Amino acid sequence: MIINVKKSAEQKMQKSLEALKTDLSKVRSGRPHAGLLDHVLVDYYGTPTPVSQVANVNLVDARTIGVVPWDKKMANAIEKAIRNSDLGLNPVSVNEMIRVPMPPLTEERRRDLTKVVKHEAEAVRVAMRNIRRDANAQLKDLLKSKEISEDDERRGEDEIQKLTDHYIAEIDKILQIKEAELMAV
């Protein structure tokens, strides 16, 4: 019983942590990475499709992302989608490749992005605490229905607390890395 509650809580915490990593990867730092365009959708014959599914996305150099469409007719649509995205990028077509130069971030913009990242991390910390609360409530229900003893309940709560502490430490570590990445010039 307790093992199932703990396993369920751990799975939910892991999913929350993965969601945080995904969200933080979308926050643009000064350095380009191919995953930056993953959430940009292109109108692919009437269907919104991620850029990575209609083109090869790779790094050309330290400040430029290269996008090579598989279907040459899609070049203008991809360029337009990248330009209209919320990333503030200005793509340029060169032959068959779309070059996406990454403009350097201003100090003010870096600080704003740091605030956004901290807010995202705090939201996931709250989610972790909610998962802990739900797991503890499940343990209390098991105790009320006499399926576990008080000692088992206390032991289970301790294990769930250790699990929560572990995942919150992971969040802090990820946040620290992302902040350092954002503030690096």
Domains in the chain (CATH in brackets) are 2-26+106-183 (1.10.132.20), 34-101 (3.30.1360.40)
Q: Rounded to an integer, what distance in angstroms lies between the CA atom of residue 144 and that of residue 31?
A: 54
Length of the chain: 185
42 beta partners = 49
Q: Give this prediction's pTM.
A: 0.68
Q: What share of the chain is helix, strand, coil (3-state, %, to 5)?
A: 65, 15, 20
Of the candidates 23, 176, 171, the one whose C-alpha atom is nearest the C-alpha of residue 114 is 176
Contact 173, 22 (CB under 8 A): no
Residue ranges of the chain with pLDDT lower than 50? none
Of the candidates 22, 47, 18, the one whose C-alpha atom is nearest the C-alpha of residue 35 is 22
pLDDT for res 31: 67
Exposure string of 119-151, with b = 16+ CB inside 10 Å and e = fewer, is ebbeebbebbeebbeebbebbeebbeeeebeee
pLDDT for res 185: 63
Q: Rounded to an integer, what distance in angstroms lies between the CA atom of residue 28 and that of residue 185?
A: 13
pLDDT for res 28: 65
Contact 181, 113 (CB under 8 A): no
Of the candidates 98, 101, 77, the one whose C-alpha atom is nearest the C-alpha of residue 89 is 101
pLDDT for res 29: 65
Contact 82, 40 (CB under 8 A): yes
Q: Rounded to an integer, what distance in angstroms lies between the CA atom of residue 143 and that of residue 27?
A: 44
pLDDT for res 114: 87
